[in-house]
Amino acid sequence: MSHNTNADSRAHRVLFTAVKTRATGDTIKLLGRETWNSMRIILVLLILCGVIYPLILFGVGQLAFNQQANGSLICAL
């Protein structure tokens, strides 16, 4: 009984090591791909939220509220 348990334990370690090694290579590729995808999403959102949206609001403000959007001159009395 002890001999069978030892063999099962050894087989489990070999199988786990093989699976772990194979998963590590795939994991590195997956992390690289996920990192690249995340960077692309960040870049797209940066352009969308930091450039396009403010320009749209500026354009709407200029068209709809021309006098108020440009402000007024402060004159000394």
Q: Which residues of the chain have pLDDT under 70?
A: 1-8, 11-25, 77
Structure confidence at residue 76 (pLDDT):
74
DSSP labels, 12-38? HHHHHHHHHHHHHHHHHHHHHHHHHHH
Measure CA 28 to chain center.
Answer: 17
Phi first, then psi, for residue 32 (nearest 5°) are: -65, -45
